[in-house]
Amino acid sequence: MISKIQINKILRLLRESVTPTVGGTEPLAIALAVAKAKELLGDVPEKVVAKLSPRIIKNSASVLVRGIEGMVGIPSAIALGAVAGDASKGLECLENLTDEDLGKARQFIAERRYSMRPSHSFELIYIEVEASLGEHTARVIIAKECTRFICLKIDNKVLVDERYTLAQDYNRCHETELNMQLIWDFSTEVPLEQIQFLLDGALQNRKVAEMGFQGDYGLNLGKMLKGSFEERIVGQDVMPRLVSYTCAACDVRMSGTRVPVSSICGSGNQGIAATLPVLVFAEGNCCSNAKLLRALALSNLVIIYIRQLLGQMSSHCSCVISSTGSACALAYLVGCDYDKVCAAIKNQIASLVGMVCDGAKPSCTLKLSTGVSSAMQSAMMAKEGICVSSTDGIIEDSVDRSIDNLANIGRDAILENDSMILRIMTEKEDNVIS
């Protein structure tokens, strides 16, 4: 039996973690930093040097900036921010671009008036820009949040400097310590009206998926799977619908389209994979609204739990984490009890451990399709009483220990792998790193 105090703490954690977000946030944050430097200088800078955290590099390098054809990745974000960014509009700093602005940005890139390099900051979100114009230099640092300026400096005049405060905040943990039993107790006992907002987020993500079916976004994987291909090759059962809806929403998000999705722990793709497989399955199998709400709580809380153990930096692809949440929820929807739900989680960990993140990009939809398919498989195995043995790999009898092992790998054991991926990404011929 869970206490009211615990319910309120977990509800607060859910509301803090499940939030709307708009695609392509990281490249827009780069553009915002450069736009602020331009504002301090009073005109378009002659040269921009950007130092970026691994998260910012990985989630910006291959993304269309505001969905503009040909304007891909970090150079485009820097150039657009330099020639046309309006820092007063925050992440909408590129909202009023003209054809003339695009031409100037392309010229800025062609003239190689920028450089970029990895930062060694401990912050997940860290963008440091130094921009010069004549004899003047502006320095701008955004950290912790994509719109938080922690340092503003023009020549020798310091306007803002919160770096010491930021360092004091580092490693501050949330007071709620989760485990699977607590997550199960909360999800099966919390009053339904208190988690209605989770369904609202799932329905918003479904709207984004439906956009993907109608338009031309990213790889168009979801649209392809939903069309005649689905009927001829994979049929029209619930399973392919889970995949097509999830992929369609990811296609829209990864195309840079400015449309809100419900995110979890700051990740739009995690939010999509946490909600759409659960929603589509529940609707296809006439599950009650109550059961759907409790399944969504399970999915989101498992993801938050894993994220708490992982910390800010992880080499795991987010679909490893999010599909573990959806596997748990799908098992609940097919009638599994606590022990079998835990079996579904262990099955999913065994299936996808080792899938690494190589940045945000249109092909993320391929990884999500793998994660969703595996989640349904893991749930059905659990329903039939099948669970990966504790003698296999990193799986243990305890579900919490198995989750902890997954987190340890993502947090520590494959950091060298992550460094190699970043090196490959930043040394590609099309990038300029100096």
Compute the distance between CA of residue 17 and CA of residue 19 in angstroms, rounded to an integer.
6
Compute the distance between CA of residue 230 and CA of residue 234 in angstroms, rounded to an integer.
5
What is residue 412's predicted lDDT score, i.e. its pLDDT? 74
Same domain assignment for residues 403 and 274: yes
> Please, how many CA atoms are within 13 Å of residue 204, restricted to the half-sphere of its CB?
21
- The DSSP letter of residue 65 is G
Question: E strand or H helix at 100, and its extent?
Answer: helix 99-110
Model pTM? 0.83
The whole-number average pLDDT for the span 366-374 is 94
- The DSSP letter of residue 178 is P
Same domain assignment for residues 137 and 181: no
> Locate tokens 């065994």: which residue?
350
Query: What angle, 0 to 180 degrees and rounded to 10, lies between the N-to-C axes of helices 268-284 and 289-310?
Result: 150
Contact of 260 with 22, CB cutoff 8 Å: yes
Same domain assignment for residues 85 and 47: yes
Q: Does some domain include residue 11?
A: no
Same domain assignment for residues 133 and 212: no
What is residue 371's predicted lDDT score, i.e. its pLDDT? 94
The whole-number average pLDDT for the span 130-159 is 94
What is residue 1's predicted lDDT score, i.e. its pLDDT? 80
Same domain assignment for residues 261 and 341: yes
What is residue 358's predicted lDDT score, i.e. its pLDDT? 83
What is residue 434's predicted lDDT score, i.e. its pLDDT? 47
Q: Does some domain include residue 412?
A: yes
How many domains are there within the chain? 2
Name the band, by pLDDT with cuts 50, 70 and 90, for residue 34.
very high
What is residue 171's predicted lDDT score, i.e. its pLDDT? 46
Q: Does some domain include residue 228?
A: yes
We report the CATH number of the domain holding residue 50 as 3.30.1330
Is the per-residue pLDDT at 172 higher than 60? no
Same domain assignment for residues 351 and 395: yes
pLDDT tens-place string over residues 271-306: 999 999 999 999 999 999 999 999 999 999 999 999
Q: Does some domain include residue 430?
A: no
The DSSP annotation for 342-404 comes to HHHHHHHHHHHTTPBP--SSTTHHHHHHHHHHHHHHHHHHHHTT----TTSTT--SSHHHHHH
Compute the distance between CA of residue 298 and CA of residue 353 in angstroms, rounded to an integer.
20
Name the band, by pLDDT with cuts 50, 70 and 90, for residue 174.
very low
Looking at 117, 143, 171, which one is the last position of a domain?
171
Q: Does some domain include residue 144?
A: yes
The whole-number average pLDDT for the span 226-234 is 61
Percent above pLDDT 70 for the chain: 90
The domain in which residue 116 lies consists of 24-171
Rounded to a whole number, what is the largest CA-CA distance in the chain?
Answer: 72
- How many residues are recorded in the chain? 434
Looking at 171, 194, 228, which one is the last position of a domain?
171
Q: Does some domain include residue 347?
A: yes
Is the per-residue pLDDT at 234 higher than 90? no
Q: Does some domain include residue 17?
A: no
Q: Does some domain include residue 18?
A: no
> Locate tokens 């399973």: which residue?
239
CA 239 to chain centre: 24
Least confident residue range of 107-111, 246-250, 355-359, 373-377: 355-359
Same domain assignment for residues 226 and 116: no
Same domain assignment for residues 208 and 100: no
Same domain assignment for residues 101 and 199: no
Pairing of strands 114-118, 47-52: parallel
Same domain assignment for residues 115 and 243: no
The whole-number average pLDDT for the span 343-369 is 91
In this predicted model, which residue has the larger pLDDT, 429 or 355?
355
- Give the residue among 57, 65, 100, 63 at the shortest CA–CA distance from 81: 65
Which tokens sit at 427? 């040394």
Looking at 153, 171, 189, which one is the last position of a domain?
171
Which tokens sit at 62? 């291959």
Same domain assignment for residues 155 and 181: no
- Give the residue among 50, 54, 74 at the shortest CA–CA distance from 418: 54
Maximum average pLDDT range among 10-24, 138-152, 197-211, 313-327: 197-211
Is the per-residue pLDDT at 230 higher than 60? no
Least confident residue range of 219-228, 268-277, 348-357: 219-228
What is residue 229's predicted lDDT score, i.e. its pLDDT? 58
Same domain assignment for residues 249 and 385: yes
